[in-house]
Amino acid sequence: MMHCIKYNFITYVLKIKNYLNIGNYRYLMKQKIRFLKALADETRMKIVLHLLDKEKCACTIYPVVGRAQSTVSEHLAILEKAGILRSRKVGKNIWYEVKSRKAREILKILDIKKI
C-alpha cells in the first residue's frame, strides 16, 4: 500500500512539474511576442532609434517622432512594458533609455540606422 501511495505522489509531482514547464514556456513565448510586437511599429521604432545613443528626456522624444505627447507616452509605456526601455523620474521629467541588448542586436541585424 505504501509503495502505491509513493508512486502516486511521484506521478503527481511529475505531472505538476510538466505543467509548470508548459506554463513557463507559454509565459516566455508571450514575453517574446510582446517584445517583437513592441518593435514592430514605426513610431516605437523611431523612439528606440532616437534613444539608442544615450538616455534622453521624454520632452526631446515628441518633436523627433512627430506625434502628440499623449500618443508618444502610450508608445513609451508599451516599450517599457516589453522590457525594451527603462525610465526614471527626475523632478517633473521622465528620462528613458534603451535597456534591451536584444533590441539593439535586432536593429543591427535589420540594418536600421539611427534617425
Reported as a single tens digit per residue, the pLDDT across 49-80 is 999 989 999 999 999 999 999 999 999 999 99
On whether residue 114 sits in a domain, the answer given is no
Amino acid of residue 37: K
On whether residue 89 sits in a domain, the answer given is yes
Residues in the chain: 115
Domain that holds residue 40: 2-109
On whether residue 46 sits in a domain, the answer given is yes
- Domain with residue 42: its CATH number is 1.10.10.10
On whether residue 82 sits in a domain, the answer given is yes
Task: Give the number of domains in the chain.
Answer: 1
pLDDT for 61: 94
Q: Say whether pTM exceeds 0.85.
A: no
For residue 93, the cross-strand partners are 90
110 three-state secondary structure: coil
pLDDT for 27: 77
Using pLDDT thresholds of 50, 70 and 90, give the confidence band for residue 112. Answer: confident
Q: Quick one: residue 33, left, alpha or beta (phi over 0 = left, psi -120 to 50 = alpha)?
A: alpha
Give the percent of the chain with pLDDT over 90: 52
